Amino acid sequence: MPQPTPATAPFTVLAPGRVNLIGEHTDYNDGFVLPMAIEREVTIRVRPGRDRIALLSTDREPAPFALDLTQPISPLSCGPGTWSAYPAGVLAGFQQLGWEIPGFEADVSATLPAGGGLSSSAALEVATATLIETLCGRSLEPLEKALLCQTAEHAFPGVPCGIMDQTAVCCARAGHALLIDCRSLERRHVLLPAELSVLVINSGVKHSLADGAYARRRAQCAAAAAGLGLASLRDLPAEGATARLTNLPLPERARARHVVSENDRVLRFTEALAKRDWPTAGRLMAESHWSLSRDYEVSCPELDQIVQRALVLPGVYGCRMTGGGFGGCAVALVDAARAPEIGNLLHESYRQATGIAAEWFLTRAAAGPRVMVSGS
């Protein structure tokens, strides 16, 4: 197979967001998750440059951001709390691999809502990594690229995320969800039949994972595992867990109860999909949501409203919050034949309850990142 050559003409990189069907806050506990890539994405239009400067622009910021690629990039290279920390972290990761990155200009845009819980950050990271691969005429293995992007998010914006989002974006297959064992990093593509539609509803409440609440949940899980004498909460089976958890203090007990039950739900949900048992799959989604709301305490009143109102609509099999929480989006598994009607009904019901005209969209399971050359 011929090796790719470095790009010298303009090109465009597209990387999808993701929605997690089930398996929330289990990835950094070595557990199971079942995300899928969606048909909303980050787009980067790239023009190779003659010098070693990276010039990054976005329609959401008034001024471009420049990085000198002849110098080591560090978190100090970008402003604190800015969007530029995500691509800067990825560029730094490739520098540490010894790649010599050519200069370029990049215009970033997105159809993903920032702060919507649909992994706009992972999509930006993976798009940036794909941009660098294209410029350099080299490539990483998809999982290697996902791990580099995860490290970038830890080191630069300072979000101690698990591996789910970057893996889902890098390794997605059209028409399939992706079952990930976050301990072994084994992956299995899970078919989503055409009779199902995935409905995403934005609560209108913007979330942020960099404000400390996410890190506190992660620390509480680590404390719970240590209190049980385990390397990870993954090592506590669902059977008999209740008795062992009684010795933990709150809130560690509640956090661990969610993680253990959620791992079990992911595996049973995957089995239900294979059997086309939509009522069971839907019930597990609802159980997941209320566990996140009550035990993990990462939902909000608006997300709870969406779930409550969705579950009474004919044709809705299940609904739950998706993403890190504290706002963002909910995801519903619905009858494809009734999906547009369900979206409109839920939009109106939620608007009447909250006054928020929530954006919603239907999506199929999308593929991972792709590159288009100019004119194609």
- Which residues are identified as catalytic? 165
User: 288: closest CA among 264, 272, 309?
Assistant: 264
Phi, psi of 357 (to 5 degrees): -85, 85
Residue 27 near residue 183, CB atoms below 8 Å:
no
- Cβ neighbours of residue 336 closer than 8 Å, sequence gap 6 or more: 194, 195, 196, 197
As to burial, measured by CB atoms within 10 angstroms (0-12 exposed, 13-18 middle, 19+ buried), residue 79 is exposed
Give the rounded distance of the alpha carbon of 365 from its chain centre: 14
Residue 200 CB partners (closer than 8 Å, separation 6+) = 19, 38, 118, 322, 329, 330, 331, 332, 360, 361, 362, 363
What is the sign of the dihedral through the CA atoms of 263, 214, 363 and 333? positive
Give me the torsion for CA of 17, 324, 175, 288, rounded to 10°.
Answer: -160
* Residue 327 and residue 305 in contact, taking contact as beta carbons nearer than 8 Å: no
Cis peptide before 251 (omega within 30 of 0): yes
Sign, CA dihedral 138-140-142-145, equals: negative
Q: Which two tokens stand for residue 327?
A: 């706002």
CB atoms within 10 A of CB 70: 11
Q: d(Cα 72, Cα 91) in Å, to the nearest integer?
A: 9
- What's at 198, amino acid-wise? V
